Chain A
Amino acid sequence: MIQGCSTFIHVGQIHVDTSPSAISTVLGSCVAVCLYDTKLGMGGMNHYLLPFWNGNGLQSPKFGNISIPKLIEAMIMRGSLPKTLVAKVFGGASINIGNSANTMMIGEKNILVAKEILKDYKISIVAEDIGGQNGRKIQFNLERGKVQMKYIARSDIGEGN
């Protein structure tokens, strides 16, 4: 049970908050990276739809390679150091079996981007629940830095999650 308020984030959003708040979202093939600063009791979460920004349109955080560095920057701006950060990664399911989204393996590419970028920043992934065929609801509790996760039916995942 969380003590503070819980902020729900949608695709393309980044939210950084402090204990005792919580951040939550719903994921299908999208991925959410949760960063937690163990010293400051501060955490942040993003929620991205696609792995790469292709140079067209605005550099929106709906792309993993835009969103993850921005999340890290947001944490650093509020006093974190990359070495005091730990990451938890969720989502990247193969939701649309048999159609083009699956053949493009969006979920897997989303996961790969998270791992590569976190490796670049030398931020270790301490927990993950990725891939598979189920959507996920997650709630990032900033009081303890723990993530509560539930699998959900495909029908409960909105479009673009």
Chain B
Amino acid sequence: MEVIIDHKALECDITHSEIEFLSRKILDLNKQLIDSEKAKSRFLSLVANSLINPISVLLSMIPHLDPKNDVRSAKIYDTVYEQALVLDFRIQNLLAAAEIENGQVDISYALIDPTELVNEAIKSLKYAILEKNIQINIHNTIEQKVVSDPKKLYLIIRNLLDNGCFYGIKNGIIDVSIEEKESKLLVSVKNQGEGPKVEHKPQIFTRFAYGPEGYHGLGIGLSIVRDLCELMDGTIDYEADTSSVTFTMTLPLETNLSNSEAYGSNEFLFESFDDAIEL
């Protein structure tokens, strides 16, 4: 019996030292990988930050140039406005990616109406929607406002809708459902058209990884959606059949707004440290 125990201990020791050895090796390899990525990350952050101010000015000024009745100018105006909106969307995604990489993402909760966020996202994607003549139906079963991070939720919804518009068929329908289930906020975006196959799932949420459908945007939208959902303790997944694809995100619904913001969130967990160990 003693011999068996010794064998087990020995095996355990070998496994431990092997894992330590391999972990050190992974760490070394990872350092090289990180170094090569570092330059890219810095560039990403720099570009996003230097572009955000000019595009904000452009977007606020362009609506004042609306030529209204001049058909030729109206076409030019629409093209300029459309491209400015696309550019703004891509810069917002670059900024979000840079923030996530820097670990500077602060969650700030507020009372929001999810339908309003969806409508705002629709407004920013109006040209893509018009081009494909897509009809968007919103089904919101939540009557009251919810507590969540509006900026992040907006970016998630905007990316999901943009994805739906790009992969959705012409003259198709996009259904946006908003519901509450087991204290979680569920937002799903269903578009008609062939969806990405299940075997492509790991790629779909990976940045710069393109599926067989080809290139679209920067290839970081859905990776940002995944990271933002994870940061807020939520999830993102999709289901696809031959005629439609549905992306569904869940976020836990916060119930206490004041505790989350002004006084240091979740401090109730730390009401007493009287008998704590001090190190």
Residues of A at the B interface (CB closer than 8 Å) are 5-8, 10, 12-14, 24, 26, 46, 51-53, 55-62, 65-67, 69-70, 88, 105, 108-109, 112-113, 116-117, 127-129, 137, 139, 146-150, 158-160
Contacts and interface: CB of A to CB of B under 8 A. Distances in A.
A55 B31 CA distance: 11
B207 A116 contact: no
Contacts of B104: 14
A58 B269 contact: no
Contacts of B199: none
Contact of B100 (A52, A58, A113): A58
B19 A105 contact: yes
Contacts of A59: 34, 37, 41, 101
Nearest to B107: A10
A7 B34 contact: no
A55 B270 contact: no
B97 A24 contact: no
Given A13-B103, A70-B103, A129-B279, A8 B207 contact: no
Most chain A beta-carbon contacts within 10 A, residue among B24, B26, B279: B279
Given A52-B26, A57-B205, A65-B34, A6 B277 contact: no
Query: Which 7 pairs from chain A and chain B are nearest by CB?
Result: A61-B103, A148-B276, A127-B279, A148-B273, A8-B266, A14-B103, A6-B264
A149 B231 CA distance: 25
Interface string B24-51: 1011001101100100010000000000
Contact of B270 (A24, A60, A70, A105): A24
Contacts of A51: 23, 26-27
Interface stretch (B83-91, B160-168, B222-230): B222-230
B278 interface: yes
Contacts, number: 118
B201 to A, nearest CB: 12
B159 to A, nearest CB: 14
Interface in B62-89: none
Given A139-B276, A147-B279, 7 more contacts: A12-B103, A52-B23, A57-B205, A57-B223, A61-B103, A65-B30, A127-B279
A65 B103 CA distance: 13
A5 B264 contact: yes
Given A58-B101, A60-B227, A148-B273, A113 B266 contact: no
Given A105-B19, A109-B19, A112-B23, A160 B233 contact: yes
15 contacts: A6-B267, A8-B264, A8-B266, A26-B269, A52-B23, A58-B101, A59-B41, A61-B103, A69-B34, A88-B279, A108-B16, A113-B23, A139-B276, A148-B278, A160-B233
